[in-house]
């Protein structure tokens, strides 16, 4: 049996994972990213809240990520963004960012 989730349903399912603590805006941004990724790859991904929680983290700002991650480079947002994008995924949304763990 297969169920296709809408963006709203996917964001709600992400938010329902109490171990992840996604904001609604963050969960929606991540849902849109995952939907776009499926479209680009022409694949349908199976929803796995644990795998998503382990792969991505939400932060209020780039500087919060830098502090949490132990980033020692420049504290300029553009340089932090470039650092992240050279190593993983950065999803910006109003109110924060989602970063792939690397």
> Residue 4: its pLDDT value, please?
84
Q: What is the pLDDT of residue 1?
A: 72
Residue 16 forms part of a structural domain: yes
Is the pLDDT at 89 greater than 90? The verdict is yes
For residue 14, the model assigns a pLDDT of 96
Is residue 65, in this structure, part of any structural domain at all? yes
C-alpha Rg value of the chain to the nearest Å: 14
* Structural domain that includes position 24: 7-100
Whether 58 contacts 23, CB under 8 Å: yes
Residue 85 falls inside a structural domain = yes
Q: What pLDDT digit, counting tens, does each position of 25-79 carry?
A: 999 999 999 999 999 999 988 999 999 999 999 999 999 999 999 999 888 999 9
Q: What total number of domains does the chain contain? A: 1
| CA–CA separation, 76 and 41 (whole Å) | 33
């Amino acid at each position: 049996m297969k169920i296709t989730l809408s963006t709203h349903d996917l964001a709600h399912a992400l938010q329902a994972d109490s171990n992840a603590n996604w904001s609604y805006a963050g969960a929606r941004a991540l849902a849109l990213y995952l939907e776009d990724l499926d479209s680009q790859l022409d694949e349908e991904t199976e929803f796995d809240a644990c795998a998503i929680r382990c792969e991505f983290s939400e932060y209020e700002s780039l500087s919060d990520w830098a502090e949490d991650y132990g980033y020692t480079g420049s504290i300029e947002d553009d340089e932090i963004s470039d650092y992240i994008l050279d190593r993983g995924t950065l999803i910006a949304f109003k109110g924060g960012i989602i970063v792939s763990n690397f």
